[in-house]
Chains A and B, each alone.
Chain A
Amino acid sequence: MSFIRLEPRGQASKTMVYVTPLLAVALTLLSGFILFLAMGFDPVRALHAFFIAPLTSVRGLGELVVKATPLVLCAVGLAIGFRANVWNIGAEGQLTLGAITGGGLALAFYGEGGWWLLPLMVIGGAVGGAVWAAVPAFLRLRFNASEILTSLMLNYVALLLLNYLVHGPYRDPDGFAFPESRLFEADAVLPILWTGTRVHLGALFALFAVAGGWLLIARTFIGFQIKVIGLTPAAAGYAGFDQKRIVWLALLLSGALAGIAGMGEVAGPIGQVTASISPGYGYTAIIVAFLGRLHPVGILLAALLMALSFIGGEAAQIAMGLPKAITGVFQGMLLFFLLASDVLIRYRVRFGARRAVA
């Protein structure tokens, strides 16, 4: 008989659904503390540089929003898919394609732009991401190929495609052979919303995505179908819901949103197409989706937290010489602790041996 036991609860605990993300964050901070100690850094100083320092200036807060924008856009789309058991791991590649198509339009109309260029780029970015996501959708529905594998593998294809383009057709002819495109003209750059920071129009798109995502999930019939398909596929069959249509919707929507995020990066903070446009936003968005409990508002909060971990990681590197990998370590630990704490929703912890049988 073990001394720590898990006993099933009669009904899932609603309190725990809100408490577990907080518990996961607390455990991550604790582990971070121990990790820094073991590595020989001052843990309090490191945690401060990581989580507190970035919030103390307007510029810091602006960076938080800039980093959170692509996370929110990707995660809202991913969460809708995850609810329907459609596991899109390819947001990174779809984001890259959005940058390629959106950025490509900016370069194609270089010098000939107008007010119409930016909306065209947004559409182009969405289409690029959606097309990239259509491939795993087709492969799943036609060949029963797992979209987890196909979308993941296409990420690498997208990155290599980007690499090829910035070394070739997209390269700035006056750029001293650096693998970068021309800097976008004013017509092709997203306007800044908050002076003194780099917060751009993309942040507004992200907020629309949160509102639209919530509306879809909570109020539309499609959102209900998604919920049922994710929970009990046999009941969805009984109800006559078209599962193929939902798979297409989930993948195309998340691809389009990721594409807009990618376009937003090159037309916003970066201002050009380069070989490296994302520090892994597409993957981090998966963590954001789960940390936010697949709910658009939760995703907004989770994205801000994860953005903080990106910025904090950079700041800690600069201020204290912490290794670059520390950001990834924190993000991974957060997801790990969140999934582990989820056990507490359906089970409670009991100490002591089970009572002996008479």
Chain B
Amino acid sequence: MSTHRHLLGPPRFGLTVERIARHLLECYGDFADTRLVGIQPRGSVFAARLHERLVRHAPELQLGKLDITFFRDDFRTGVKPLRPDPMVMPFSTEGKRVILVDDVLYTGRTISAALSALQSLGRPREVELVVMVERRFQRELPIAPDYLGLSIDALDEAYVRVRWREVDGRDEVVLYPNKAASKA
């Protein structure tokens, strides 16, 4: 594979977000005792997008942004920059149902770090996971999404980028042959 491939763009991108929002609505009803938590930096953009739709039905639903930089177990590998994002968690997760939101699920390390970060804020009653894109295979931990936008099979060195209108100017999911190509 030499060039990138568009996997999702408007209008399907918007429909996918809409579908996940409706699925959550169906499962959570009035979202009592529920908190929507996006993983910084890019999961929180997705979470905000979902929140915008869900508050129409559940005005009480609170949104949090969880920074997991200091909870990563792979911080010494030098893959990720050591740069924290703001943590905005204006509530305790004690006894709450938490909907954890991220853009891409790959090795599962991020979600694992997010779970330990959540635990230091209290003991949630239940945690469910929403991701826009799941990369199957190469999972390093027993973690699976509960709500899913798109599932793909890709080579190990491939790189999946989810772009959001709010931060990148457009909505799309693109598969690149490697990470460097996503920046070109």
Q: Does B associate with A?
A: no
